Amino acid sequence: MFDFDGDEIFHVDVDKKETIWRLKEFGQFASFEAQGALANIAVDKANLDIMIKRSNHTPDSNVPPEVTVLSSGPVELGEPNVLICFIDKFSPPVVNVRWLKNGEPVTTGVSETVFLPRKDQLFRKFHYLLFLPSNEDFYDCEVDHLGLDRPLLKHWEFEEQTPLPETKENVVCALGLAVGLVGIVVGTIFIIKGTRKNPTAERRGPL
């Protein structure tokens, strides 16, 4: 994965052997050869095997995730919105996540990020669900991880909103949106670089 200030720009899909841009617009102004990354991954796997043997195959400790579910913005009945399932501070980076609507699995309108590394050697991940808020519906994000005794359910249902102070949920929402919004910033940089084909003429002042 290649990131900018901690946010994903693109990653290489090992199975498909291709570059996957976080936003498709990135690929219009830059390119990345997937084969080069695949070669690096092969070297990394070989080195990892050596390290595993030297550690006598000692497994890493399982750190259970912290899970938060919230909407991407103020919720209005009948107006499309996005639910964010933020999975944080876990290891190893193997997790099964599914959305439930009224207790039934949902497979449409879902998306997710790759595993995002943290500076403390743990991981975080975002899962998204497009939905239409209703008084009759409720949603759950079900997370299963090696560090959990049983799958963890985080519940969400519509409630009349009142102004809230700056809380963990506000911060997580901003972080989840930033993962996508960073694309606007980086995309702008690519556009500017792509359009600079000639040197800028210098402006001369009066003699």
- How do residues 39-78 score in pLDDT, each as one tens digit? 777 877 788 788 777 777 777 789 999 999 999 999 999 9
Residue intervals of the chain classified under CATH 2.60.40.10 are: 66-160+168-180
Residue intervals of the chain classified under CATH 3.10.320.10 are: 2-59+187-193
For residues 29 and 36, the model is more confident at: 36
The reported pTM is 0.62
- Give the fold, CATH level 3, of 2-59+187-193: 3.10.320
For residues 147 and 48, the model is more confident at: 147
For residues 204 and 60, the model is more confident at: 60
For residues 192 and 145, the model is more confident at: 145
**Contact yes or no for 176/126 (Cβ under 8 A):** yes
Report the CATH superfamily, name and number, of domain 66-160+168-180.
Immunoglobulins (2.60.40.10)
DSSP per-residue string spanning 129-177: EEE---TT-EEEEEEEETT-SS-EEEEEE--------S-HHHHHHHHHH
Task: Read off the pLDDT of each residue in 82-93 and give the average, rounded to a whole number.
Answer: 96
User: Which pLDDT score is estimated for 40?
Assistant: 74
User: Bridge-partner residues for 154, per DSSP?
Assistant: 141
For residues 62 and 193, the model is more confident at: 62
DSSP state of 25: G
Give the separation between CA 124 and CA 117, rounded to whole angstroms: 6
Give the separation between CA 84 and CA 86, rounded to whole angstroms: 6
User: Which pLDDT score is estimated for 124?
Assistant: 94
Question: Does 149 score more than 90 pLDDT?
Answer: yes
User: Which pLDDT score is estimated for 137?
Assistant: 96
DSSP 3-state assignment of 84?
strand
